[in-house]
Chain A
Amino acid sequence: MADKLRATQQLEQLQARYVGTGHADTTKLYQPLFPPHRIPKDTYASYIGHPPLLEYMSVATGEPMAKMRTRFIEKMIQPVGKPPEKED
């Protein structure tokens, strides 16, 4: 019991010190700091923001860069599909 209490205390300490530390019930999609849907969003933002990278993909697909850019922003709306059902 004492072990469990200590573990909880340590976790609380960690959560206080480092923003984004999860707990046992953190779902995959709602990790506070790096939720998975943010990573692809950052990726798309990076594709748009680096002109050579956007051109690289535009040359491969044969689509104009402006169309690629719009497509990537469009994908940022929901990059990994629907969010999970909330458990309350």
Chain B
Amino acid sequence: MSGNSNMFMYSLTVLQPSAITQAILGAFSGKKQQEIIVAQGSRLSLLRPDAAQGKVHSVLTIEVFGIIRCLAAFRLAGSSKDYVIVGSDSGRITILEYQPQVNRFHRLHLETFGKSGVRRVIPGQFLACDPKGRACLISSVEKNKLVYVLNRNAQAELTISSPLEAHKPHCLVFALVALDVGYDNPVFAALEVDYGESDQDATGFAYESIEKMLVYYELDLGLNHVVRKWSDTVDRSANILFQVPGGTDGPSGVLVCAEDSIYYRHMGRSTHRVPIPRRRGACEDPNRRRTIVSGVMHKMRGAFFFLLQTEDGDLLKVTLDYDDESGVSRIKVKYFDTVPIASSLCILKSGFLFVASEGGNHHFYQFEKLGDDDDEIEFSSDSFSPDPLDRTGPIYFHPRAPENLSLVEAIDSMNPLVDCKIANLTDDDAPQIYTVCGSGPRSTFRTLKHGLETTEIVSSELPGVPSAVWTTKLTNGDEFDAYIVLSFTNGTLVLSIGETVEEVTDTGFLSSAPTLAVQQLGEDALLQVHPKGIRHIRADRRVNEWPAPQHRSIVAASTNSRQVAVALSSGEIVYFEMDNDGQLAEYEEKKEMSGTVTCLSLGEVPEGRMRSSFLAVGCDDATVRILSLDPDSTLESKSVQALTSAPSSLCIMSMPDSASETSRSSTLYLHIGLYSGVYLRTVLDTVTGELTDTRTRFLGPKPVKIFKVVAQGLPSVLALSSRPWLGYSDARGQFMLTPLTYPMLEWGWTFSSEQCPEGMVGIQGQNLRIFTIEKLTDNLQQESIPLSYTPRKMLKHPDQPIFYVVEADANTLSVATKQKLLDSAQNGDTNELAPVEFGNPRGEGHWASCISVVDPVGKEVTQRIELEENEAAFSIAAVSFSSQDDEWFLVVGTGKDTRLSPRKSANGYIHIYRFINDGKELEFIHKTKVDEPPLALLGFQGRLLAGIGKDLKIYDLGMKQLLRKAQGQVAPNLINGLQTQGSRIIVSDVQESVTYVVYKYQDNRLIPFADDMIPRFTTCTAMVDYETVAGGDRFGNFWIVRCPQKASDESDEDPAGGHLIHERSYLQGAPNRLNLMCHFYPQDIPTSVQKAQLVTGGRDTLVWTGLQGTIGLMVPFVSREDVDFFQTLEQHMRTEDAPIAGRDHLIYRSYYVPVKGVIDGDLCENFSLLSRDKKAMIAAELDRSVREVERKIADMRSRVAY
């Protein structure tokens, strides 16, 4: 795999892709509850909609390591559980079962049918399942169709037959659906075109007369073979099919949707057609025909309806009138509502609609009504002939605000993610990720911050500044807390929790002194530790007081329900234990510590035990000692841990641990916070008291305080420094430490009441704050600012925290055109629709484009410059022109009358803007006409470097326009990206990878000196160092290339460049070739790559973003030892945890080019999900313990990322 590469990267995913390729609905858990399975890139996720809360929860996500192309759910007759069929690029059909008890997918069947990879004739593009779950058909785009019979055996296990072939050469498939035929033989319907004749006919007549056929394939279950049962011509433009319920539920057959028409078709039945209603409006072209892009059929209590979506996003409700004798008599269609364009729609029985949108957030709607009795016009097929050539009267409707659907939740989606910059604009301790994503009017500028979302419940000001807060129950059996105890410098305040929170005085707590600890002790007693003693408050309000010895005070205390330990100012430790009659008994001997004790921790009493057997003592000599509390060795020292600074806080607690000896058990940890702001977590051996496996993390410049809290029902750690952090076990069972999006707290404790069963209480300055943590799954918080059109590129102001985004939408009316149409429209037609919901009006050949000035801190767009005269902006740069005293200017490259396919523009322009008002506004200076739209712009040595078509040009700023200073043809096709360092320019070409160009100032020449040997359809590049470039291409590859040292040196030697010009070209290219250092196939198309740090004190990594919303990292390995370790681990993971859809991992990552120099971290991280014995086996092969392996994997991530 590695070859002789000496550069190794570790690939990690920070944010998984959010685009949904397909969503299917089913009862995958086998319960009444309906669930949604979505395919997101190479991941399969199970979503559980919660009807009560109107939310969608992500339950499980697995990495398939393959391209998921199609999904289908099916259910065997008589069963209540749905299975999933996954069609991927593995050349195999996979049947998965979701096992809710262990929350994972289990593979039931994996049947090979062809070569791997996405190929024209290998099935996997279309998949349809018989509604009774008896068979499925998997088809390729061309020729091949395979039918698998699904059944169950005597043990009630699912069986799958060998495939039955239904191939037909020269046949292209457009759509495939299973017919609902009740319990007759399963039938599948396909939309097909036979191109066999047109391939032979040189006159072109056969091509002109090609017909599109609707073909029925019947699986004869008795004879076990497949026949083409029926075929008939349909509309030439037909593109999609929908199943019509059959058997006892309906008339069976299919809806065939074509351009401008919806047909009902079935064998032996009459055809019906209804046109697709078009939008009426001032800006709408009345002649534009709509097509159906997605839809869903829903059955309910004997009735059924369809919701079909047009390319504008309008949902149409389609119903059929039918009787059992003559079948369907008419189709009725009417406008329903408008939702974002969906890749899949799912209607839930609980009355919700899930819209997996193609771009932007996914929406979850609730049905208010079904549009049954509203005043929307209903069109019927009675008025239209079924002949596709009949074009009588298009029908129209007026789009309106949603009436039938109400949005209950929008699920964040970064898809499509077009550009990204990482910067720290808010002076936080970690940088933020700024992205532009979305398409059309649903585009957004998003800011991503690392942190968990918190919801504030109470924030109230207190009379003084408290130093600490506790909550306590009254008795052991209480469910909720009864008191909040606040400690001030000179007193203690007790508040009771109820309907209202108010002060209580008769609690027995000493109010005239500050408090060190509060504990609910034994069955029904309370305990307060204050500097002068310990108060033991019995249930009958009797108080037993233990006074601190003379001239000494208590400095630290730790308690649990049966034990109390206090440290005195003299360095002695006094230990108490509760005896059988609820009395606190002091242990006779005091333990003298070497230094002053700063903190203590006892840990909870383990279930079924009398006592916690360890006491952790932190002293100011920078040590933590573990003392035994066992009766025969009380207060004997067990172990010592030396630290880098004095500990400020300790906490012994047990947490679930994936590396522990038995699965699903927990391990005892000692959490240590230091005065230096460092947090440590070590494993505390329950028998010996040894401290092992210490993991360190710097949290912030303030001393760390540690508290035990509960988050999502699991014990977690709240660590407070300059920011609050939460330590918890994530879905993989790995310990995660994530900051909370909450202000700095001085103290924190758990809080539980009827209204808020699982909250936290904290002190911030003079305020008491109560908050909860909603979910632990999202550790990146998003904030979005709406944009107008599809963003193309973004740029940060060189000094100010302001971004500039160029946006452009093809075939869309610009604001000026729209206004002109609105002005000239008759009355009544002028109400403009909100583009965010309804999209912008379309117009062939028109462009809508603008430059937006975005202030991410103020969360607003401060200026929007709409481009006119059908210009569209494609590139942006900030350039400081040395001829203008190094003043910064914004440069935007546009194209006029651009056509995308084939690429053609009337001409291009370069606009110059001046930054005014600290960059919050732009002032237009002038624009310069150029031959082609510049797709790449860059500031270069005080001038502007522009990639215009194949040419690289250097411009200087003049009074009236830009002045061309130098030019050179350096790229074979089209320059789409530029990078520079010194005199070196990296030019990326749309098809031909990167070319290294050197600019010779003396000769004023641009000379290419090195290029690549593989045609990479480059999308983005970044210079890693002077010789090395990282980039991505359109097919989803990530690569790093490097210029040979000799060529690099030679290029800079001669200031005139005479030698370089006369160097012999090698194989019709530049004289030198670049070497490939790394290559990896992450599947998603990289849209930006940059060198950045994601965490404070972390190393530089390569951060790349993918079109579907992925954010990934390439982490360079430092030591060869680590490389060897991870290479071996990766090898073992490939065999021990082979991808679930049957794709070979190594071949998947080598999809176009063999993987080189990159280790797949996502695969390595799956180690923690393996079974215990597999883990042990792999760890043994690596000569390490399971815990060490897990630690190494976790360290790789936590050192550089979240």
- A: residues with CB less than 8 A from B are 37, 41-42, 45-46, 48-53, 55-56, 58-67, 70, 73, 76-78, 82-86
* Among A52, A58, A60, A61: residue with most chain B CB under 10 A: A52
Nearest A-chain residue to B194, judged by Cβ: A77
Given A56-B416, A60-B810, A67-B291, 14 more contacts at CB 8 Å?
A: A45-B119, A50-B1035, A52-B41, A55-B358, A56-B1107, A58-B358, A59-B1107, A61-B810, A62-B812, A63-B311, A67-B311, A70-B239, A83-B199, A83-B201
Cβ of B418: which chain A residues have Cβ within 8 Å of it?
A: 59
Q: B286 to chain A: closest CB distance in Å?
A: 20
Partner of A66, one of B124, B142, B239: B239
* Chain B window 341-378, contacts with chain A (Cβ cutoff 8 Å), 1 for yes, 0 for no: 10100000000000000110000000000000000000
A34→B810 CA distance, assembly (Å): 36
Comparing B203-211, B241-249, B951-959, the segment that makes contact with chain A is B203-211
* B1117 CB-CB contact with A under 8 Å: no
Contacts of B174 in A (CB 8 A): 70, 73
Chain B interface size range: 35 or more
Q: Which of B449-474 contact A (CB under 8 A)?
A: none
Flag whether B294 is at the interface (Cβ < 8 A).
Answer: yes
Contacting A at CB under 8 A, from B712-768, are none
Complex Cα gap A76–B207 (Å) = 12
Is residue B1084 within 8 Å, beta carbon to beta carbon, of the partner chain? yes
Task: Give the nearest-CB partner of B67 in chain A.
Answer: A50
Instruction: Tell me the complex Cα distance, A78–B199, Å.
Output: 7
Q: Which residues of A contact B558 (CB under 8 A)?
A: none
Which of B198, B341, B1108 contacts A52, CB < 8 Å? B1108
| Docked-complex contact A59 and B41, CB < 8 angstroms | no
B187 at the interface (CB under 8 A from A): no
5 A-B residue pairs with CB within 8 Å: A37-B199, A49-B118, A50-B1036, A73-B193, A77-B172
List of A residues within 8 angstroms of B413 by Cβ? none
Q: Are B69 and A42 touching (Cβ within 8 A)?
A: no
Q: Is B577 an interface residue (CB 8 A)?
A: no
Verify if B656 is at the interface (C-beta below 8 Å from A).
Answer: no
Contacts A41-B120, A42-B120, A78-B198; A66 near B41 (Cβ below 8 A):
no
B1083 proximity list for chain A (CB < 8 A):
52
Closest-CB distance, A41 to chain B (whole angstroms): 6
CA distance A28 to B936 in the complex (A): 37
Please indicate the chain A residues that have their CB under 8 angstroms from the CB of B120 in the complex: 41-42, 45
CB pair A78 B207 closer than 8 Å: yes
Q: What are the residues of chain B within 8 A of A49 when measuring CB–CB?
A: 67, 69, 89, 118-119, 124-125, 141
Residues of A within 8 A of B207 (CB): 77-78, 82
B198 close to A77 (CB less than 8 A)? yes
The answer on a CB contact under 8 Å between B358 and A48 is no
**Which residues in A have their C-beta under 8 angstroms from that of B1107?**
52, 55-56, 59
- Give the distance in Å from the alpha carbon of A10 to the alpha carbon of B204 in the complex: 38
Is B240 close to A, CB under 8 A? yes
Q: Which of A56, A62, A65, A73 has the most CB of B within 10 A?
A: A62
The contact of A64 among B119, B198, B311, by CB within 8 Å, is B311
A-contacting residues, B423-449, CB 8 Å = 439-440
CB B376 to nearest CB in A, in angstroms, measures: 24
Known contacts A62-B790, A62-B812, A65-B358; A45/B118 CB under 8 A: yes
CB closest chain-B residue, reference A85? B202
Bound-state CA distance A77–B120 (Å) is 13
CB contacts (< 8 Å) of A76 on chain B: these are 141-142, 172, 195
Give bound CA distance, A67 to B257, whole Å. 12
| B1126 CB, min distance to chain A CBs, angstroms | 27
On chain B, the residues within 8 Å of A83 by CB distance are: 199-202
- The answer for the CA separation of A85 and B69 in the assembled complex, in Å, is 39
How close is A8's CB to chain B, nearest CB, in angstroms? Answer: 29
A29 to chain B, nearest CB (A): 10
B439 touches A82 (CB 8 A): no
Give the distance to chain B from A57, nearest Cβ to Cβ, in Å: 9
Residues of B within 8 A of A78 (CB): 195, 198-199, 207
Residue of B nearest to A54 (CB): B21
| Cα(A51)–Cα(B415), bound, Å | 12
Question: What's the Cα separation between A83 and B199 when bound, in Å?
Answer: 6
Q: Which of B994-1025 contact A (CB under 8 A)?
A: none
Q: How far is the CA of A46 from the CA of B125 in the complex (A)?
A: 10
Q: With a CB–CB cut-off of 8 A, which chain B residues contact A58?
A: 358, 439
Closest Cβ of chain B: how far from A51's Cβ, in Å? 5
A36 CB to closest chain B CB (Å) equals 13
How many pairs, one residue from A and one from B, have CB atoms within 8 Å of each other in the complex? Answer: 129
Q: Contact at A60–B343, with CB atoms within 8 Å? A: no
Minimal beta-carbon separation of B621 from chain A (angstroms): 58
Using known A-B contacts A46-B118, A55-B1108, A67-B291, determine if residue A62 contacts B1035 with beta carbons closer than 8 Å.
no
**CA–CA, A19 to B873, complex, Å?**
50
Q: Which residue of B lies closest to A81 (CB)?
A: B204
Tell me whether A51 and B67 are in contact in the complex, defined as CB-CB below 8 angstroms, given that A62-B790, A66-B239, A83-B202 are known contacts. Answer: yes
**Contact bitstring B826-866, A, C-beta under 8 A = 1, else 0:** 00000000000000000000000000000000000000000
Give me the 9 closest cross-chain CB pairs, A-B, nearest first. A49-B118, A45-B120, A66-B293, A70-B239, A64-B293, A51-B21, A77-B195, A85-B202, A82-B204
The answer to whether A55 and B172 have CB atoms under 8 Å apart is: no
CB distance from B761 to the nearest CB of A (A): 46
Interface readout for B207-238 with A: 1 if CB under 8 Å, 0 if not? 10010000000000000000000000000000
B859 smallest CB distance to A (angstroms) = 25
Residues of chain B with a CB closer than 8 A to A62's CB: 439-440, 790, 809-812
Partner of B125, one of A37, A48, A85: A48
Q: Are A84 and B202 in contact (CB under 8 A)?
A: yes
Give chain B nearest CB distance to A2 CB in angstroms: 36
Task: Give B48-68 interface residues, CB cut-off 8 Å to A.
Answer: 67
Residue of A nearest to B1108 (CB): A52
Q: Does B490 contact A (CB under 8 A)?
A: no
- Identify B1085's interface contact among A41, A53, A61, A84, CB under 8 A: A53
A65's contact among B125, B343, B1084, by CB below 8 Å, is which? B343
A82 touches B358 (CB 8 A): no
Report the minimal beta-carbon distance from B962 to chain A, rounded to whole angstroms: 27
* Residues of chain B from 163 to 186 with CB closer than 8 A to chain A in the complex: 172-174
* Cβ contacts under 8 Å, A46 to chain B: 118
> Are B1034 and A56 in contact, with the CB atoms below 8 A?
yes
> Is B900 part of the binding interface, using a Cβ–Cβ cutoff of 8 Å?
yes
CB neighbours (8 Å) of B294 from chain A are 66
Q: Quick check: is B254 within 8 A (CB to CB) of the other chain?
A: no
Asked if residues A50 and B812 are in contact (CB atoms below 8 Å), the reply is: no
For A70, what are the chain B residues with a Cβ–Cβ distance below 8 Å?
174, 239-240, 291
Q: Which residues of B contact A41 (CB under 8 A)?
A: 120, 142
Q: Is B810 touching A45 in the complex (CB atoms < 8 A)? A: no
In the complex, are the beta carbons of B812 and A51 less than 8 A apart?
no
Q: Which residues of B contact A66 (CB under 8 A)?
A: 239-240, 291, 293-294, 311
Instruction: Tell me the bound Cα distance from A55 to B528 in angstroms.
Output: 63
A77 to B199, CA, bound (A): 8
- In the complex the two chains form, is A73's CB within 8 Å of B172's CB? yes
The CA-CA distance from A70 to B394 in the complex, in Å, is: 23
Partner of B193, one of A50, A77, A86: A77
Measured CB to CB, the nearest residue on chain A to B140 is A45
Taken together as a complex, chains A and B put the C-alpha atoms of A49 and B1035 apart, in Å, by 12
* B1142 in contact (CB, < 8 A): no
Bound CA–CA A84/B810 (angstroms):
36
A67 vs B1034: C-alpha distance when bound (angstroms) = 20
CA of A34 to CA of B901, assembled, Å: 25
Q: Residue on B with the closest CB to A84?
A: B202
Q: Does B19 contact A (CB under 8 A)?
A: yes
**Distance A55 CA – B413 CA, assembled complex (angstroms):** 14
A68 to chain B, nearest CB (A): 10
When distances are taken between beta carbons in the complex, the residues of chain B under 8 Å from A63 are 311, 811
Chain B residues lying within 8 Å of A85, measured Cβ to Cβ, are 202
A60 and B1183 CA atoms in complex are apart in Å by 51
Specify which chain B residues have a CB less than 8 angstroms from the CB of A67 in the assembled complex. Answer: 239, 291, 293, 311
Task: Tell me whether B440 and A61 are in contact (CB under 8 A).
Answer: no
